[in-house]
Chain A
Amino acid sequence: MTSVADIMADADKPRRWGWWYVTELRLREMRGYVSYVVTSSFANPLMYLLALGIGLANLIPEGMDGVPFLVFVAPALLMSTILTIGAEEGMYPVLSGFKWHKIFFAIHATPVTPGQIVGGFLVHLTIRFTFTAGVFFGFLILFGAVPLASGWVMIPISILGAFSILTPLGAYAARLEDDTGQFALIQRLVVMPMFLFSGTFFPLSQVPDWLEWVGWVSPLWHATQLGRTFSYGAIEPMWLSATHLVVLVAYSAIGGYFMHRSFVARLTK
C-alpha cells in the first residue's frame, strides 16, 4: 500500500509546476483561434495608425504636447488596444471556464490548485499580450511614432495595464452565475468611457474638470502617461510617474488577490 509520504512525494511535481501545465493547456487551446489572434494583432495597429495617426494627424499639424500628433497618440493606441483585450479576457473566458466550458472544474479535480489555475491563466495571457503588444510596437516603429529608444518599455507597461483591468473583472466574473448582460454593461459603462476620457486622443487637462476623475481612476490613463514618458520623454514630475506605476501595480495586485479568492470560493464550494 502506498504510504502518505509516498503520495506527498508524488504530488510534488504538480505542486511546483501546476501553473505551467495550465499555461500549456491554454496554449494548446489557442491553436483553435491562433489565426484570429495573429490577424487581429496585425490588423488593429494598421487600422488605428492609418485612421487616427495619419488621418487625424493631418488635421492637427501643430501636434500635441510638443510632439507630432502621431507620436502623442501612439502610446495611447498601444495601451488602449492591449487594455481592451485585457478587459475582454477578464470577463467571458473566466465565466466560461466555470459555466459553459467548465474547464476550471476539470483541472481542479487534479492536484492543480485554484491558485495555480489563476497563475497559469495569467501566464498564458502574458505570452499572448507580449506577442500582440510586440507586433503593435513594431508598427509604431515602422510609422516613426516612437522617437526614443526606451520606447520598448511600453510593452511591459501595456501588459501591467491589461492585468490591472483584467484581474478585478476576473474576480467579479468568477462569482457570476450567469451573464445576463453584465458584461455588455461593463463594456459600455466602464471600458468605453475609460477609452474616451483617459487622455487618449487629447491631454487629460482638456477634459472637463468634473470628468477628470475618470482619468485618475482609469488604468488606461496611468498606463498611457507612463508610456509617453518612455516613448517621447513627455515631461511630468517624478512623483506623478511613480504614482502611475503604483496605481497599476495596486490594481493588478489587489485584483489578483480577489481573483484568487473568487476562484477558491467557486472551486471548493
Chain B
Amino acid sequence: MIRAENIAKKYGDFVAVDGISFEVQRGESFGLLGPNGAGKSTTMKMIAAVSTRTSGNLEVLGMDPNTDGPAIRSQLGVVPQEDNLDQELRVRENLITYGRFFGMSHAAVAKRADELLEFAQLTDRAKSKVEPLSGGMKRRLTIARSLMNDPQMLLLDEPTTGLDPQARHILWDRLFRLKEQGTTLVLTTHYMDEAEQLSDRIVVVDKGAIMAEGSPAQLIRQYSSKEVLEVRYGSDKNSTVAKSIADVGERQEILPDRILIYSDNGERDLAEITKRGHHPMTSLVRRSSLEDVFLRLTGRSLVE
C-alpha cells in the first residue's frame, strides 16, 4: 500500500523528516511511534498527498502523491492530529458534505452517514452542533467522517491524544473493530500503550529519522530485557546509590527520579540491592515496554 524510500521534508532549512524508508502491506496495522516533533505528522501529510515531499521516492497505492494527489486521496481516510470538523454544520451534515467531496450521490452519502453515526455511537447526536461535543465524540465523528468513502487505508494522526482514559478505550475499541474487518491502518502516537494495542508493526522515529522497526514484542526483545526493576531513593540520593549498585542487572538507566534496572529477574535484583543495604523508598518490578525501548534508543523518554 505504501512504499517509502528515503523520503525527506524540509521547511526552509529545517529538516522535519530526514530520509526515512518503510513499507506498509494491505491489511496491516502500522504505527509510527515517537515523541513530539519527531516528524510523524509531516510523514503522514506526505502519505496523505497534502504535503509535497522534498526528496525521496514515495508510492501510495501504486501512485506518486506529488503528482496523483487527488486519485490517492480518493482512496484514503484521514484523521488529522487537530480536529477540523465544520463548526457551522451539524454532526450528520459534517458526514454528508464530506462524502460529497468524493463524488458520492446524495442518496449514498445519506445512507453511509447513518451507518457511520451508528458505528461511532453518535446516532443520538446526529442533529447536534459540533461545538458542544466532548473531545472523544469529536474524535469519533472525525473517524466516522474519514470512513465516508470506504477507504482502502486509514491514516490516524495521534487518534487519542488529549482524551481521558475512558474516551481512549472507546476509541481503541472502534479502531480495533476496523482492524478486524481488514482495514489497513497507519497511525502515529507518542503513547506506547496505544502503539502496542493497535499496531502489528512499529517504527520508532526520533528527530525525523527511524531508530528501529519491528513488532512491539520483537522490539522489546531486541532492545530491552524481560523485566525492569524501578527503584527510587529520592532525587538527591539516586545518583550516589546508583554508583554502588552499578553491577546489578544487565543494564541501567539513571533517571532524575528513579533508577531502572534491566534484567530477566527483577525480584532477584531487588533482593541483591537490599542485601547491600540500599533500601529503596519504593520499588516496582514490571515487564519491559516500548517506553524502555525508546529510552534505550534515544536516552530520552517518550512523553516529557
A101 to B26, CA, bound (A): 34
Check: A180 CB closer than 8 A to any chain B CB: no
Residue of B nearest to A33 (CB): B88
Q: Which residues of B contact A21 (CB under 8 A)?
A: 97, 100-101, 103
Query: In the complex where A28-B97, A268-B52 touch, is A101 in contact with B61 (Cβ < 8 A)?
Result: no
Q: Are B101 and A8 in contact (CB under 8 A)?
A: no
Q: Are A109 and B50 in contact (CB under 8 A)?
A: yes
Check: A35 CB closer than 8 A to any chain B CB: no
Query: In the complex where A21-B100, A101-B86, A110-B98 touch, is A8 in contact with B71 (Cβ < 8 A)?
Result: yes
Check: B74 CB closer than 8 A to any chain A CB: yes
Check: A127 CB closer than 8 A to any chain B CB: no
Q: Which residues of B contact A24 (CB under 8 A)?
A: 97, 100
Q: Are A109 and B73 in contact (CB under 8 A)?
A: yes
Q: Are A102 and B50 in contact (CB under 8 A)?
A: no
A140 to B18, CA, bound (A): 63
A147 to B89, CA, bound (A): 44
Q: Are A14 and B102 in contact (CB under 8 A)?
A: yes
Report the contact-size class of chain A (Cβ under 8 Å from the partner).
35 or more
Cβ contacts A86-113/B at 8 Å (1 or 0 each): 0000000000000001110111111111
B120 to chain A, nearest CB (A): 17
**B74 partner, pick from A3, A11, A29, A101, beta carbons under 8 A:** A11
Query: In the complex where A10-B75, A32-B88 touch, is A4 in contact with B61 (Cβ < 8 A)?
Result: yes
Q: Are A7 and B50 in contact (CB under 8 A)?
A: no
Q: Which residues of A contact B62 (CB under 8 A)?
A: 3-4
Check: A15 CB closer than 8 A to any chain B CB: yes
A113 to B61, CA, bound (A): 19
Residue of B nearest to A106 (CB): B84
Q: Are A267 and B89 in contact (CB under 8 A)?
A: no
A18 to B101, CA, bound (A): 6
Q: Are B100 and A113 in contact (CB under 8 A)?
A: no
A39 to chain B, nearest CB (A): 18
Query: In the complex where A7-B75, A28-B97 touch, is A111 in contact with B102 (Cβ < 8 A)?
Result: yes
Main secondary structure of the interface of B (DSSP, over half): loop
A110 to chain B, nearest CB (A): 4
A101 to chain B, nearest CB (A): 7
A46 to B63, CA, bound (A): 57
Q: Which of A10-31 contact B (CB under 8 A)?
A: 10-15, 17-18, 21-22, 24-25, 28-29
Query: In the complex where A103-B86, A108-B50 touch, is A2 in contact with B97 (Cβ < 8 A)?
Result: no
Q: Are A7 and B63 in contact (CB under 8 A)?
A: yes
Q: Which residues of B contact A4 (CB under 8 A)?
A: 61-63, 71
Q: Which residues of A contact B84 (CB under 8 A)?
A: 101-103, 105-106
A8 to B73, CA, bound (A): 11
A140 to chain B, nearest CB (A): 32
A156 to chain B, nearest CB (A): 29
Q: Which residues of A contact B100 (CB under 8 A)?
A: 21, 24-25
Check: B39 CB closer than 8 A to any chain A CB: no
Q: Which residues of B contact A268 (CB under 8 A)?
A: 50-52
Q: Are B88 and A111 in contact (CB under 8 A)?
A: no
Q: Are B75 and A110 in contact (CB under 8 A)?
A: no
Q: Which residues of A contact B72 (CB under 8 A)?
A: 7
Q: Are A7 and B52 in contact (CB under 8 A)?
A: no
Check: A1 CB closer than 8 A to any chain B CB: yes
Cβ contacts B84-98/A at 8 Å (1 or 0 each): 111111000100011
Check: B69 CB closer than 8 A to any chain A CB: yes
Q: Are A25 and B97 in contact (CB under 8 A)?
A: yes
Check: B195 CB closer than 8 A to any chain A CB: no
Q: Are A109 and B103 in contact (CB under 8 A)?
A: no
Check: B37 CB closer than 8 A to any chain A CB: no
13 additional A-B residue pairs with CB within 8 Å, beyond A4-B62, A14-B70 = A3-B62, A7-B74, A21-B100, A21-B103, A24-B100, A29-B86, A101-B87, A105-B80, A110-B101, A110-B102, A111-B71, A111-B73, A267-B50
Interface set of A (CB-CB < 8 Å, partner B): 1-4, 7-8, 10-15, 17-18, 21-22, 24-25, 28-29, 32, 101-103, 105-113, 267-269
Q: What 4 pairs between A and B have smallest CB-CB spacing?
A: A13-B103, A110-B101, A102-B84, A111-B70
